[in-house]
Amino acid sequence: IWCIDCLCVLFPATAWSALQSGGSVLDAVEKGCGRCEVEQCDGSVGYGGSPDESGETTLDAMIMNGDTMEVGAVADLRRIKNAIGVARAVMEHTEHTLLVGESDPSKSCGPYKPRATLKQYKRAQHADTRSHDTIGMIVLDQDGHIAAGTSTNGLTHKVPGRVGDSPIIGAGAYADSTAGGAAATGDGDVMMRFLPSYLAVELMRAGADPSAACKTAISRIKRHYSEFFGAVICANTTGHYGAACNKVPGFSQFHFMVSDSKSDIPLLKSVDCF
């Protein structure tokens, strides 16, 4: 089990417990992310944090079955705390992939800027590592089944109706039991344009080492947005894993957690950004 942005040992431990007790990889992802939602994960996941411009918290989540390629995702979810559970219900009880809420920017103009200003911002922005965050999880069991999931309450002070990368398949996370899984965190408005999780999995399918796959996925974004804040974790079907992050002021090292049969408790890992 690999967990992104979940430095509390409770969340990967909860997922590991579900797996050890006979649950599926989907059960592990749902329970691990769900525990983070309940505990509100430093205010960046679950109810009550990262309000939009209207002061309301909305949730995004996604879960993916790497065996069947089925996905359930929700975005702009209001008045429901268990976003990852709703995402799984979408996957298992509907024919749809992504359902969104009812918010819209009709009462707020948002932080819009002229294109010239946006181009300057694109070159000069600095990372705000606390303005957007996600729990992302990849689970691989002993039979080779892989699942991945995400949950977040999104960007602080976002325009009502804004959806980030977390519930977008291939952006926030991706899983394919024939290749591996990946999950991402960071500036979702930028990162979703490159589908870094999908790219990382496809690179591993082609034989790339997980660390190299993650680095290539970050490099693809970095060529266009040199100052973006973001990181990706990857795991292949043999259990090897890696991570990569873009180095910007205030963000030079990325931490993630790993749970496996070699340790009784989740282990904190880190990688230097480049």
Residue 211 Rama label (left phi>0; alpha psi -120 to 50; beta): alpha
* C-alpha dihedral (261, 267, 273, 274), degrees to nearest 10: -30
| CA–CA dist 99, 184 (Å, integer) | 21
3-state secondary structure of 192: coil
The tokens for 4 are 């992104």
DSSP E strands in 78-129: the ranges are 98-100
| CA–CA dist 42, 8 (Å, integer) | 9
Is 134 tagged catalytic?
yes
The answer for residues whose C-beta is within 8 angstroms of residue 70's C-beta and 6 or more apart is 64, 91, 92
3-state secondary structure of 120: helix
Query: Whose structure tokens read 């209207």?
Result: 54
CA angle in degrees (0–180, nearest 5) for 45-57-192 = 65
Run of H or E including 202: helix 196-205
Single out the residue of 29, 49, 51, 30 nearest to residue 40, CA to CA: 49
| CA–CA dist 137, 76 (Å, integer) | 20
14, 134, 150, 237: the active-site residue: 134
Distance of CA 255 to the CA centre of its chain: 14
Active site residues: 134
